[in-house]
Amino acid sequence: MRNIEPAVLKRLYQEMLRIRLIEERIAELYPMEEMRCPIHLCIGQEAVAVGLCAHLTRDDYVLSGHRSHGHYLAKGGDLKRMMAELFGKVTGCSKGKGGSMHMLDLEAGFLGATPIVGGTIPIAVGAAFGTVMQGENRVTAAFFGDAAVEEGVFHESLNFAALRTLPVVFVCENNLYSVLSPLSVRQPSGREIYHLAQGHGVESFQADGNDVVEVYNLAGRAISKARRGDGPTFLEFKTYRWREHCGPNYDIDLGYRTEDEFQEWRSRCPIDRLKKHLKGKGLITDLEAEDMENSLRAEIDEAVEFAGESPFPEVEALEQHIFAP
Amino acid sequence: MHRELKYSQAVHEAIELCMARDRSVYVMGLGVPDPKGIFGTTLGLKDKFGAGRVLDMPASENGMTGVAIGSALVGMRPIMTHQRIDFALLALDQIAGQAANWHYMFGGQARVPLVIRMIIGRGWGQGPQHSQSLHAWFAHIPGLKVVMPATPYDVKGLLIASVEDDNPVVFIEHRWLHNITGDVPGGLYRVPLGRSRVAREGDDLTIATASYMTLEALRAAEMLAEEGLNAEVIDLRTLKPLDEAPILDSVRKTGRLIVADTGWRSVGFSAEVVARVTEAALDHLKAPPRRVTLPDCPTPTSRALADFYYPSARDIVATAWGMMGLEVELPVMQETAGALLDVPDKSFTGPF
Ligand SMILES: Cc1ncc(C[n+]2csc(CCOP(=O)(O)OP(=O)(O)O)c2C)c(N)n1
Ligand SMILES: [Mg+2]
C-alpha cells in the first residue's frame, strides 16, 4: 500500500482493530442496562478516525459529534475513562455528567464531542482561530457526518475558515444515512458533498473511507498544509455504519436499507482489507495478529473492570460545575 | 363508546384527522416518514396521504422552520416535528423572531398557522443536550402559543385545536407520556387553547402543574389524601395563553399553592404562576407559595445524578406537609421503591 512504512501500516491496523473491539464490547455489554445513555457506535467506520488522527500530535485538537468513540480513541483519549463515562461513573472522562454523547480528553487534545448535529464544526474553526491568535502551530480537525452539511452553521464555518486561512481539516464521514433517512430525501442527487466545500473556497477531496491508506494519505496532505499555514481542507470519506443509528443492534430488518447494501459494505471492511494486505506481504503473521488481539482484549477487560468498580458521582456533584470558580 | 388509546396514538389520530379534513395541513420533520415514525406518532401517514404531505427534511432546523413559515403565509398549515426540543434551538430566530412577530409587526395583515411539535423528556442518559425543558422560553415570547398536554384525551383535542389555530403554536409532548393510555373519543373534537382543567378536586391545597408533572401531582394528591389532606390539582394544559382564573379560584378556596413544573426553578414557568397568584390573591394565601422544579443546573447524564435531579410525587408531598407546618413521615412509594428513576417503567429500555 503505496509507500507507507510497514510499521505505520501495522499501527493503523492495530488502532482500527482496537476501536472495533472496544465498540463490539460496548455492544455486548449494553443490553445489561448498566450503560444508561444513548450510544452511537462507529463499527465499520474506523478507518477515517484512525487514518486521520495518525498525523495528529497530542498538541493538535479534535472535535466531534454524537458518533465520537472512534475519534476520541484515535486521538489518544483514555479508554478507562471513556468506559467509566459510559457507565455514568465519577471516574469518567466527563465525570459522569456527559455520557457517550459528551466526551472529552484535554490531555489528548480531544477538545470535546457533543451531539447537536453540526454544533461543533464552528467550535473547531474557533479553536483553530484561537491557536492562530496565540501564534501556536496546531491543527484542528472537525469530524461530522453527512447530515451536518445540511445545517446552516456548516456553511458559516467554512466561509470563515476560508476567509481567515485557518488550520482546520473538515472531515465528513458520509455513511449515506442520517438516522433512518437516506441522502436521497435530504440532498439533491448528483451534487457531491465535497463540492459544497469547494463552493466556499475550501480545497476539497472525496475518497474511500473504508481504505485506511487512502484516508491516511489524504489526511497527511491536508494536515501538513494546515501546519504550513496554507489553510483549511475538506475531506469527504464515503463509509458505512454497520449497526443501528443509536444502540447496539443490527437494524436491517427495519427496511430503510437493504441487506445487499449492508453486505456489500461489510465485504469492504477496512480492517479485513488491511489485514489481508499485511498478511499477503508477510508483514504480519497469524500468531502476531492473534497476540495483538489478545493484548487489546486484555486492555479492554481492564477498562471495563475499572468502569464497573468505579463509584458513581455523589449527590454534591449535581450542582457542581455550573459556573467555573 | 370508550376507547383506550396511548398518548402517542392520540397524537397520531389528531394529525390524521386534520390531514384528512384539510388539504393544506402537512407534516414535516427529521424522520417523520421513517420506519419509527417519531415514536409512532407519524407512522403510516405517508402511505395514507402521500410523500407530498408527509415529509422528511434535511438536518436544517433553522432553514426548514423558515420554509414552514413561508408556506404558512401563503396558505399551508404545517405541522413541524422535532424529536427533541433541543433541536428546535437552532431555529430560534425563525420561531421567536419571525413567526412570533409576523402577525403583529405587519399590523395584523398576515398570519402564521404553524404548529411546531417539540418533545421533551428525561432519563436514560439523554443528558444536557437532549432533554432540556424549555417551555418557559417559548412562553416568554409574545405571539407564540405554548401547549403542554398531559393526557391522551387532551393531546388529541389540543393538537387539533392547535392545527386549526391561525398562530404559531409550540406543542410540547413529554416523552414519558407517549406510552400512557386513556379514554380518547374517535372523530374530531377540540380542546380549546387557553383553558386549564381541574384534574382533581380538593379544598386544602392547590397544585398547579402541566405535562408529565400532572401525573406526579395526581400521585402526590393520592398520597396526601391517605393522610386526610385534600389537594386540588390543576392541569394548566396551555401555558400561553394562561388560564389564570381557575388557579385563582382554587387558591382562594384552599389558601395554599404548589406549582410543580418539569422546568428549571429560576425564571421558570412556576415563577410566573406564583407571581400571578400573589398579585391577585395574596390575601387568600395562608402560606407562602412553593415551587417543585428541577434544580438550577444542566441535566446530568449519569443515572446516579438523575435520581436526585428530577422531582417526583414524593417531593410534592414533602412540600405540602411543609406548608401545612406538619412533619409527616413519607411513605415509600411502591412503584418507585428500588427502581431506577431514569426510566418511566420497566418496559422502557434504552436508547430512548
Ligand atoms: C440539530 C440536530 N438535529 C437533529 C438531531 C438528531 N440526530 C442525531 S444524530 C442524527 C443523524 C446525523 O447524521 P449524520 O450527520 O450523517 O451522522 P451519522 O449518524 O450518520 O454518523 C440526527 C438527525 C440532532 N442531534 N441535532
Ligand atoms: Mg450519516
Domain ranges for chain B, please list them. 4-183, 197-328
For residue A324, tell me if it sits in a domain: no
How many Å lie between the centroid of ligand 1 and the Cα of residue A115? 7
Cβ contacts below 8 Å, chain A against chain B, sum to: 143
Alpha carbon B44 to its chain centroid, in Å, reads: 25
pLDDT band at B341 (very low <50, low <70, confident <90, very high): low
Which member of A96, A101, A117 has the closest CB to residue B304?
A96
Quickly list DSSP for B27-41.
Answer: EEETTTTSTTTTTTT
Minimum mean pLDDT range among B45-54, B118-127, B176-185: B118-127
CA-to-CA dists, residue A98 to A65, A93, A113, B107, B145, angstroms: 13, 8, 10, 46, 33
The mean of the pLDDT values for chain A is 97
Interface contact flag, B350 A322, Cβ < 8 Å: no
Name the residue with the closest Cα to ligand 1, atom 25: A116
Evaluate if residue B184 carries a pLDDT over 50: yes
Residues in chain A: 325
For residue A319, tell me if it sits in a domain: no
Mean pLDDT score, A154-160 = 98
The residue ranges of DSSP E strands in chain A, in sequence order, are 61-64, 110-113, 140-145, 168-174, 177-178, 181-182, 203-208, 233-238
Q: Is B2 left (phi over 0), alpha (psi -120 to 50) or beta?
A: beta
What pLDDT, on the 0 to 100 scale, is given for residue B352? 46
**Is beta strand A181-182 parallel, antiparallel or unpaired with respect to A177-178?**
antiparallel
What pLDDT, on the 0 to 100 scale, is given for residue B122? 87
For residue A25, tell me if it sits in a domain: yes
Q: A37, A196, A245: best mutation site toward chain B, by most B Cβ within 10 Å?
A: A37
- What CATH architecture applies to the domain B4-183? 3-Layer(aba) Sandwich (3.40)
CB-CB neighbors (< 8 A) of B350 in chain A: 30, 33, 36-38, 247
Tracing cell 487514518 back to the chain, one arrives at A51
Range of the domain at A214: 6-302
For residue A314, tell me if it sits in a domain: no
CA-CA distance, B72 to B75, in Å (whole number)? 5
Three-class DSSP category at B352: coil
**Positions of B marked active-site:** 61, 130
Which member of B31, B63, B125 has the closest CB to residue A38?
B125
CA-CA distance, B160 to B144, in Å (whole number)? 17
CA-CA distance, A234 to B20, in Å (whole number)? 46
For residue A55, tell me if it sits in a domain: yes
What pLDDT, on the 0 to 100 scale, is given for residue A323? 96
Identity at B8, one-letter amino acid code: S
Domains B4-183 and B197-328 share a fold: yes
**Cis-peptide into B241, omega within 30 deg:** yes
Interface contact flag, B128 A37, Cβ < 8 Å: no
Tracing cell 451536518 back to the chain, one arrives at A148
Q: B43, B301, B346: best mutation site toward chain A, by most A Cβ within 10 Å?
A: B301
CA distance A255 to chain B (A): 8
The mean of the pLDDT values for chain B is 94
Q: Tell me A315's DSSP state.
A: G
Q: What are A143's strand-pairing partners?
A: A171
CA-CA distance, A254 to B174, in Å (whole number)? 25
A307 interface with B at CB cutoff 8 Å = no
CB-CB neighbors (< 8 A) of A64 in chain B: none
Return the CATH class of domain B197-328: alpha beta
Q: Which residues contact B83 (CB under 8 A, 6 or more apart)?
A: B29, B30, B31, B38, B39, B119
What pLDDT, on the 0 to 100 scale, is given for residue B337? 43
Evaluate if residue A59 carries a pLDDT over 70: yes
CA-CA distance, A26 to A3, in Å (whole number)? 35
| Ligand 1 pocket mutation, candidates A37, A170, A178, A256, criterion most atoms within 8 A of CB | A178
What pLDDT, on the 0 to 100 scale, is given for residue B345? 63
CATH number, position A190: 3.40.50.970
Helices (H) and strands (E) in chain B, counts: 13, 14
| ipTM here | 0.95
Identity at B296, one-letter amino acid code: D
Of B169, B206, B208, whose CA–CA distance to B190 is shortest? B169
B266 interface with A at CB cutoff 8 Å = no
CA-CA distance, B106 to B68, in Å (whole number)? 18
Looking at the CA of B30, name the nearest ligand. Answer: 1
Q: How many domains does chain A have?
A: 1
Three-class DSSP category at A114: coil
pLDDT band at B125 (very low <50, low <70, confident <90, very high): confident
